[in-house]
Amino acid sequence: MIRRDFLARTLSVAVASLFTRNVFAQHSMHGMSGMSDMDDMPGMSSTHADNSHAAHATPKLAPETALPAGAPLAALRKLANESSEAGVFRATLVAQPVRRQLMPGRSTSLWLYGDAAQGPIVGPLIDVREGDTVEIRFVNRLPQPSTIHWHGLPVPPDQDGNPMSPVAPGASHVYRFTLPPGSAGTYWYHPHPHMMSAEQVFRGLAGPIVVRAADDPLAAFPERHLFFSDLKLASDASIAPNDMMDWMNGREGQFVLVNGARRPRIDVAQDERWRLWNGCNARYLSVSLGGEHTFTQVGTDGGLLDKPRDGLTELLLAPGERAEIIVRAGAQASAAILTAVTYDRRKMTMTEGKSLPADPAKPLADVRFVPGSPGGAARAVPPTLRPIAPLLPGTDNAADKAPQKSVVFTEAMDMTAMHRPGASMSALPPGMQFLINGASFDPSRVALTSRRGEVEVWSIENRTDMDHPFHLHGTQFQVIGRERGGASTREPFLAWRDTVNVQPGETVRIATVQRDAGDRMFHCHILEHEDLGMMATLKVV
Ligand code: C2O
Ligand code: CU
Ligand code: CU
């Protein structure tokens, strides 16, 4: 294993040249320089970008107050169903460059699903039911290939927007799948093209999905949706390109948006069910309403827990993760700040073997509790939400007898590659490697093979010096337990997940099963790491 201090030392030496030559040349190569609005038009990008931006240093960023705050939380746009047949959801999603005024008096070029001329800069909500057949025509009006990946949904592998099935600029593609019973939950969709996912997401391409069950025990609660995304704007309001630190730690902008807006206001007049999406490229969100305002977790990525988890003051959502919580209006008026509290994910620095200090707490939204008529607002959460059968019933024994798979995260630097002539022409900063089982993603290589229907135990081990969120496509898994520094903890509750954080030095064990034959991806959901190759293919036979 090549250690972090080596990475840091190497970077500090190489950063000056790598920064200007490679990162910006790379952006230009894709015709995606965020510096100019003109680059967003398909077909008129690269040559223009090549000469005008190659020498730019990190642009000056807009101040954190550049975006207005305090507006009431916007409801998500809903994707319209074009079908009138029962049980069929048919719609069109166009990915395209869109110009919006986010900073007063200045326009920002985003890439969005739908034109979003009005309303939040988040992809429209796909609101569907178990049993529905979903047919979505994707039209790619971006200057790059793209795909739509249905993060967390059990869709057939050939419908899942794998990087191996790109949709060319100007082309379209119909994705089709049927939502099985038991799939109710909180999902999302985003692009997954080879080496371009991070950029497409940070330019605005991501949206929420809710799958509903006919027999939802919490159907009586009013629902609120909070889709968190991250935005990094230069002082001229353009979307800043990734710099070296963004590639290394994953990109975090100066803005965290909730349904596309900075620090909105939320009035809670009765007990509510909140669905939370961490749609940020790399930002960890440990959400809290402060010590006095506890909440109840009722769901994870793949839907309801078997039992509610009461009295929480904090809930960590790694990039890609979702949760459902019940927020109570309380008995009298009060206020709280929905905050991403400090969580140390051990971000790396450019200097000798040191981590960055953890980020300070960040306010996400201002919440006012304004309980209405006494008694009318409070709703009971049933003590049992739905049965969840363990994938491996019994004890550790069952887990030990199941087929085992091992996934190991490592990091490495390759000085030779970094300084090879022509390195500046490559698509991503060369030499900075985030690896799975010793290898960087190769679309033609199968890393692991599983049999469909067979429950397996995967051990995901993080031998790097920073946190990485592990994500597996096509299924929901159950965390069995975690091991770190010789201490092991069994997962205290049953839950369906598709994304789980793995801390440095930690091994997370999950029980998982795939239902369809075909290729599935698994990767780190820090999208910069994914683009840099921290991804692999699981072949299901
Ligand atoms: Cu949300 Cu493979 O991704
Ligand atoms: Cu996914
Ligand atoms: Cu990672």
Position 115 confidence tier, pLDDT thresholds 50, 70, 90: confident
User: 482 CB under 6 A from ligand 1?
Assistant: no
User: 520 CB under 6 A from ligand 1?
Assistant: no
Nearest ligand 1 atom to alpha carbon 192: 2
Position 255 confidence tier, pLDDT thresholds 50, 70, 90: very high
Q: Regarding predicted confidence, which is higher, 25 or 465? A: 465
Q: Is 60 exceeded by the pLDDT of residue 163?
A: yes
Mean pLDDT of 453-457: 97
The pLDDT of residue 353: 65
Report DSSP state, residue 38: G
Position 18 confidence tier, pLDDT thresholds 50, 70, 90: very low
**Token reading at 243:** 């710099």
The domain 398-540 belongs to what CATH superfamily? Cupredoxins -  blue copper proteins (2.60.40.420)
Report DSSP state, residue 21: I
For 262, the 3-state DSSP assignment is: strand
302 alpha carbon, closest ligand: 2
Mean pLDDT of 79-90: 97
Ligand 1 center to 414 CA (angstroms): 27
User: 471 CB under 6 A from ligand 1?
Assistant: yes
Ligand 1 center to 509 CA (angstroms): 20
For 23, the 3-state DSSP assignment is: helix
Ligand 1 center to 428 CA (angstroms): 19
248 alpha carbon, closest ligand: 3
Residues 400 and 392: their CA atoms lie apart, in Å, by: 10
Q: Regarding predicted confidence, which is higher, 40 or 446? A: 446
Ligand 1 center to 493 CA (angstroms): 24
Q: How many CB atoms lie within 10 A of CB 447?
A: 19
Q: Cβ distance 374 to 393 under 8 Å?
A: no
Q: Is 70 exceeded by the pLDDT of residue 93?
A: yes
CA angle, residues 135, 151, 444, in degrees to nearest 5 = 95
522 alpha carbon, closest ligand: 1
The pLDDT of residue 394: 76
**Do 1-385 and 398-540 have matching folds?**
yes
User: 521 CB under 6 A from ligand 1?
Assistant: yes
pLDDT digits (tens, 9 = 90+) for 300-317: 999 999 999 999 999 999
For 314, the 3-state DSSP assignment is: coil
Written as one string, the DSSP assignment of 126-179 is EEEETT-EEEEEEEE-SSS-B--EEET----GGGS--TTS-B-TT-EEEEEEE-
User: 322 CB under 6 A from ligand 1?
Assistant: no
User: 190 CB under 6 A from ligand 1?
Assistant: yes
User: 473 CB under 6 A from ligand 1?
Assistant: yes
**Token reading at 46:** 């690269």
Per-chain mean pLDDT for the chain:
88
Mean pLDDT of 441-453: 97
How far is the CA of 186 from the CAs of 270, 299, 487, 506, 511, in angstroms?
22, 9, 32, 27, 20
Distant-in-sequence, close-in-space partners of 463: CB < 8 Å, separation ≥ 6: 1, 408, 409, 410, 504, 505
Q: Is 80 exceeded by the pLDDT of residue 340?
A: yes
Q: Which amino acid is at 464?
A: T
Distant-in-sequence, close-in-space partners of 121: CB < 8 Å, separation ≥ 6: 100, 102, 110, 112, 204, 257, 260
Mean pLDDT of 329-337: 95
Parse the chain into domains and list their residue ranges. 1-385, 398-540
The pLDDT of residue 486: 93
The residue assigned the tokens 């049953």 is 494
Q: Is 50 exceeded by the pLDDT of residue 449?
A: yes
3-state secondary structure 276-306: EEECCCCCCEEEECCCCCCEEEEEECCEEEE
Which residue in 246, 241, 249, 236 sits closest to 25, CA to CA? 241
**Token reading at 385:** 């939400």
Q: Is 50 exceeded by the pLDDT of residue 53?
A: no
Q: Is 70 exceeded by the pLDDT of residue 523?
A: yes
Which residue in 79, 57, 48, 61 sits closest to 143, CA to CA? 48
pLDDT digits (tens, 9 = 90+) for 261-293: 999 999 999 999 999 999 999 999 999 999 999
The pLDDT of residue 417: 66
Ligand 1 center to 294 CA (angstroms): 30
Ligand 1 center to 146 CA (angstroms): 13
Nearest ligand 1 atom to alpha carbon 320: 1
Q: Regarding predicted confidence, which is higher, 500 or 426? A: 500
User: 149 CB under 6 A from ligand 1?
Assistant: yes
Position 422 confidence tier, pLDDT thresholds 50, 70, 90: low
Specify the residue with its C-alpha closest to ligand 1, atom 1: 151
Q: Is 90 exceeded by the pLDDT of residue 192?
A: yes
The pLDDT of residue 355: 85
206 alpha carbon, closest ligand: 1
**Token reading at 202:** 């940070």
User: 192 CB under 6 A from ligand 1?
Assistant: yes
Q: Is 70 exceeded by the pLDDT of residue 246?
A: yes
Q: Which amino acid is at 497?
A: R
Residues 380 and 170: their CA atoms lie apart, in Å, by: 50
Q: Which of 108-122, 211-225, 295-309 has the lowest mean pLDDT?
A: 108-122
Mean pLDDT of 44-66: 57
**Token reading at 59:** 């642009």
Ligand 3 center to 125 CA (angstroms): 27
Give 1-385's CATH code, choosing from 2.60.120.380, 3.30.70.580, 2.60.40.420, 1.10.3290.10.
Answer: 2.60.40.420
Ligand 2 center to 161 CA (angstroms): 9
Q: Cβ distance 429 to 244 under 8 Å?
A: yes
Mean pLDDT of 215-242: 96
Q: Is 50 exceeded by the pLDDT of residue 22?
A: no
CA angle, residues 273, 274, 279, in degrees to nearest 5 = 155
The pLDDT of residue 27: 35
Ligand 1 center to 472 CA (angstroms): 8
Q: Is 60 exceeded by the pLDDT of residue 243?
A: yes
Q: Which amino acid is at 454?
A: E
Chain CA centroid to CA 173, Å: 23
Q: Which of 391-405, 411-425, 457-471 has the lowest mean pLDDT?
A: 411-425
**Token reading at 44:** 């008129």
320 alpha carbon, closest ligand: 1
Mean pLDDT of 132-141: 98
User: 529 CB under 6 A from ligand 1?
Assistant: no
Residues 534 and 463: their CA atoms lie apart, in Å, by: 13
Q: Cβ distance 95 to 111 under 8 Å?
A: yes
Position 256 confidence tier, pLDDT thresholds 50, 70, 90: very high
Position 59 confidence tier, pLDDT thresholds 50, 70, 90: confident
